[in-house]
Amino acid sequence: MQRSWNHFSSSDDKFFAGIWEAEPGCWKIRYTENEFCQILGGRSILRHANGEESMLEAGDNFVIPAGFEGEWEVLETTRKVYAIYQP
């Protein structure tokens, strides 16, 4: 289960910011947007298609660039702040 609370959308629908939360699970992702994230709680793994992994925990800040393909695996319910730019 995933939920999001979008707090801002630009008038041209290219920039968004808000909060996202997901319960444990794993799904494939393919980004057409650039996304800045700050993990507020929980634990997840961001796995690149080439197998490279990043463990994500509260306090982590990172950017997922447009073109990224891989998996997002939520180990413990995860909540993040997001800021998305869709070129």
Calculate the dihedral angle through the C-alpha atoms of 76, 78, 72, 24, rounding to the nearest 10 degrees: 40
Structure tokens at 60: 């982590």
Which of the listed CATH numbers 2.60.40.10, 1.10.3210.10, 2.60.120.10, 2.30.42.10 matches domain 2-85?
Answer: 2.60.120.10
Q: What pLDDT digit, counting tens, does each position of 13-38 carry?
A: 999 999 999 999 999 999 999 999 99
Domain boundaries, the chain: 2-85
Token pair belonging to 34: 């650039």
CA distances to 23, 53, 55, 78 from 32, in Å = 23, 20, 22, 22
Is residue 19 a contact partner of residue 62, using CB atoms and an 8 Å limit? no
Q: Which of 82, 1, 5 is nearest to 39 (CA)?
A: 82
Tens-digit pLDDT profile for residues 44-79: 999 999 999 999 999 999 999 999 999 999 999 999
Phi-psi region of 76 (alpha: psi -120 to 50; beta: other; left: phi over 0): beta
The confidence band for 9, taking pLDDT boundaries of 50, 70 and 90, is: very high
